Amino acid sequence: MKTFQIPNVRAQSARRCNYLIQTKTGVYTFRWNILSNGKHHQPRISLKTRNYLEAVSIASQLARAILAISNPTIDQVKAVYAQFSETQAEVAMRLSQIDIESLLSDLSLKSQNEYLGTWRSFLAHIDGEALSVAGIRQSHIESWKATQTCADATLKKKLRLVSSCFEKAGVACEAHWFRYKVKTSRADKRRAFTDTEVKQVFKATASFKYGVDNWRYYLPRMAMLTGCRLNELAQLRVGDINLQEVPYISINDNAFDKKVKNESSLRKVLLPIEASILLSELITGKSEDQRLFLELPYSAVNGYAPRPSKYFSKLCRNKLGLNGVSFHSFRHFAITHLFNSGVKEELIGSLVGHSVGKMTTGKVYLSGFNDKLKLEAMNHLGAIYSKVDS
């Protein structure tokens, strides 16, 4: 085999590579000369570029790969070409062509939805139809990051999900592109509403009671009276409510669009009379399988919570000028008042669906609180409600 020297890239403008040829259309092709059985063979491969410097760079890589083989055969040279073609195809692949769903099949349905929701948000922002796998840069991550209006901790999680998607797809990215330091200022920490602040929210939402978006009226009042999480309330159906004898609502995940945070969240929440009155207004004229709040859209990732969550955050921050609070602050408010009323922490955990109480007694030895104790505790919230909603 004829030996040759890989040209010095700096002198490329003065000397042409003898293993590069240019077609009539200007596209460069790489060829390699092999002597086999007394005949010369020159297997070729198109480099798909008209730029000479780029062609030399690619050809040099191919030449090095072939020279690394001792006495390469035609088949071995073609194998090098095939590997090059596969690599080029991967580089040219659009981000939108990555089948992320197939790479997430080993995850739980909830995790798959979280990954897919974040990945699709990222692709929509950076135009995944146009951007190639090889074209991804830190600037794309930063640009998308700047559009996210979620809390710092949530953004950090989203960055981790995007990074994991790239890793699963085998896309080369730098780890530091996805780093984000969560702020620890006091303003970022959710706290309980004060009694005065609850009155402000109730007053601001009073006019929505009989409107299409009546969830603006009912959700904060139900949250204050039960300590339930936003999505636990937003996903309720008429069949989850029992107003006979000892009234209660059932927090469950017995439908495709219902979810709970963990196993401890599955519970029966006894209702003070004030909550029973609110719910009787909501279920009138509805069938068993009907949701209480039909106007709330469903998200496969976050259930029915996104729309009311955004609404109440803006209401508190922009209209009422309240800092450090969100809809979740109603849950903090209920738990705080239960604790201040002398209710045992283990019983509070049972009422609001915490995974653990103060000690293991909250999970095991005292898990069988009777309905009388639970209703007595919930009536404390009813008494507070009568004061703040007056």
Q: Which residues, including other chains, have CB under 8 Å from residue 318's CB and lie 6 or more apart? A: none
Q: Do the strands 44-46 and 267-270 form a parallel or antiparallel pair, or are they unpaired?
A: unpaired
The answer as to whether 3 is a domain residue is no
Highest mean pLDDT among 61-75, 142-156, 175-189, 234-248: 234-248
Q: Tell me if 24 is assigned to some domain.
A: yes
Q: Report which of 35, 1, 30 is spatially closest to residue 18, judged by C-alpha positions.
A: 30
User: Are both 306 and 244 inside the same structural domain?
Assistant: yes
| Three-state secondary structure call for residue 374 | helix
Q: What is the pLDDT of residue 36?
A: 82
Buried b (16+ CB within 10 A) or exposed e, 113-143: bbbbbbbebbbeebebeebebeebeeebbee
Q: Which of 153, 186, 219 is the last residue of a domain?
A: 186
Question: Rounded mean pLDDT of 121-129?
Answer: 81
pLDDT in tens, 344-380: 888 898 899 886 544 434 444 445 678 888 999 999 9
Q: Which residue has the higher pLDDT, 21 or 187?
A: 21
CB contact set of 335 (below 8 Å; sequence gap of 6+): 192, 227, 348, 352
Pairing mode of beta strands 34-36, 39-41? antiparallel
Is there a single domain that holds both residue 177 and residue 323?
A: no
Helix or strand or coil: residue 104? Answer: coil
Placement of tokens 């945070």 in the chain = 261
> Region 149-165: what's the mean pLDDT?
87
Residues 6 or more apart whose Cβ sits within 8 Å of residue 244 = none
> How many residues are recorded in the chain?
390
Q: Read off the amino acid at residue 17.
A: C
> 383 or 86: whose pLDDT is higher?
383
**Tokens 């103060």 identify what position?**
358
For the ranges 50-59, 90-99, 130-139, the lowest mean pLDDT is seen at 90-99
DSSP state of 94: B
What is residue 179's predicted lDDT score, i.e. its pLDDT?
Answer: 86
Give me the sheet containing 28-31, strands edge to edge: 20-22, 28-31, 44-46
Residue 258 is predicted with a pLDDT of 93
Average pLDDT value for the chain: 84
| Structural domains of the chain, count | 3
How far apart are alpha carbons 212 and 219 in whole angstroms? Answer: 14
What distance in Å separates the CA atoms of residue 243 and residue 260, rounded to the nearest whole number? 22
For residue 1, being part of any structural domain is answered with no
Which of the residue ranges 23-27, 116-120, 222-226 would you say has the lowest mean pLDDT?
23-27
In a domain, 17, yes or no: yes
> β-strand 248-251 against 267-270: which pairing, if any?
antiparallel
Please identify, among 140, 166, 186, the residue that sits at the C-terminal boundary of a domain: 186
- pLDDT digit string, tens, across residues 38-65: 888 889 888 878 888 888 888 888 888 8
Domain boundary among 69, 92, 115: 92
Query: Residues 76-112, buried b or exposed e (16+ Cβ, 10 A)?
Result: bbeebbeebeeeeeeeeeebeebebeebbeeeeeeeb
Q: Which residue has the tokens 């095939």?
A: 82
Do 43 and 136 reside in the same domain of the chain? no
Domain extent at residue 129: 95-186
Give the pLDDT confidence score for residue 371 in this predicted structure.
87
With a pLDDT cut of 90, the percent of the chain lying above it is 41
pLDDT, residue 360, reads 38
Are residues 223 and 368 located together in one domain of the fold?
yes
User: In whole angstroms, what is the distance from residue 21 CA to residue 152 CA?
Assistant: 55
Nearest to 224 by CA among 114, 334, 106, 96: 334
88 residue type, one letter = Q
Res. 208: pLDDT tops 60: yes
State the Cα–Cα distance between residues 375 and 270, nearest whole angstrom.
6
235 and 125, same structural domain? no
State whether the Cα torsion 337-340-341-345 is positive or negative. positive
How many angstroms separate the Cα of 226 from the Cα of each of 43, 267, 268, 357? 76, 12, 11, 18
User: Is 38 a domain residue?
Assistant: yes
Say whether both 158 and 254 belong to one domain. no
- Tell me, yes or no, whether 235 and 363 share the same domain: yes
User: pLDDT tens digits, residue range 315-324?
Assistant: 999 999 999 9
- 323 & 232 share domain: yes
- 264 vs 364, residue with greater confidence: 264
Residues 109 and 82 in one domain: no
Helix, strand, coil percentages in the chain from 3-state DSSP, rounded to 5: 50, 10, 40
Same domain, 160 and 309: no
Q: Do 76 and 69 form a contact (C-beta atoms < 8 A)?
A: yes
The confidence score (pLDDT) of residue 128 equals 65
Domain match, 26 and 122 both: no
Residue 4 lies in a domain: no
With respect to residue 210, please indicate whether it lies within any of the assigned structural domains: yes
Question: Could you tell me the two tokens for 75?
Answer: 């088949």
User: What tokens does 59 get?
Assistant: 């050809």
pLDDT at 361: 42
**Dihedral-angle region of residue 332 (phi above 0 means left; psi in -120 to 50 means alpha; beta otherwise):** alpha
* Predicted local confidence at residue 319, as pLDDT: 94
Best mean pLDDT range from 26-40, 92-106, 128-142: 26-40
Instruction: Provide the whole-model pTM.
Output: 0.56
Tell me, yes or no, whether 231 and 345 share the same domain: yes
